[in-house]
Amino acid sequence: MTLSPELVDALTRFAAHREVLVATDFDGALAPLVLDPMSARPVDGAMETLTALADLPGTTVALVSGRALEPLRELTGAEEPIVLVGSHGAEDSRRPDGLVLTDEQRALLDRLEGALDRLAEQYPGVRVERKPAARVVHTRGLSRPLGEEALEAAEALGERHTSLVVTPGKEVVELAVAHVGKGAALVSLARELDADAVLYAGDDVTDEDAFAAIEDDPDEDRRPRHVSVRVGDGETRARHRVADEHELVEVFRVLLEARSASA
């Protein structure tokens, strides 16, 4: 397994900064996409390498995911000092009070339940994931025409409620009553840490938002130092690309070695 010379060079330069934020998506980045979301597991070496990085001085590691916080913690086994950012930025493991919804937001989630139950009956095989601030329609495993039709129906449902944030992904659509966005959460965390540079890796539409956010970071010093890595194929704003989850682990191993040497 060989990373491109350009990526290795970028990692070496990134490793030399005083304070860095190393962040990554989970599904499709650390763990292969699977039919049952709760059977997803990080590939060998992923969490061990990230944990070692998080133990280095001046290095904050964050898992930034669309998943709710508790399932993300359960599936990764991540512990402090690794930061968990769940529900597309709406949840943060450093804030024990968790996500606080208004009465109106709770009522909207309740109204969504019946509509999504009917959608699941109309499209057998559709699964509805329940998050603290959102409901997510999953179609992985359905035939492509049926799955696409179900996702379009879910998006249409979301568009009928103007206070919902509709976020499409790979064979999923999320309907959220509270939404921050991975990109906004990432830039906010970098600002809070006073990070000199940010690395982010991911594979999906929401990760493209994160790539765009660090590319347009309001901090003019930090902006050009970022490293963005797309996992897998597809159009991307990321500066670099790796083939799969195993190559992404190699990215973190190279960074760990370079960061350890510069400590």
Catalytic residues: 25
Place of tokens 């919902």: 164
Dihedral angle of Cα 89, 92, 95, 99, to the nearest 10 degrees: 50
d(Cα 171, Cα 129) in Å, to the nearest integer? 13
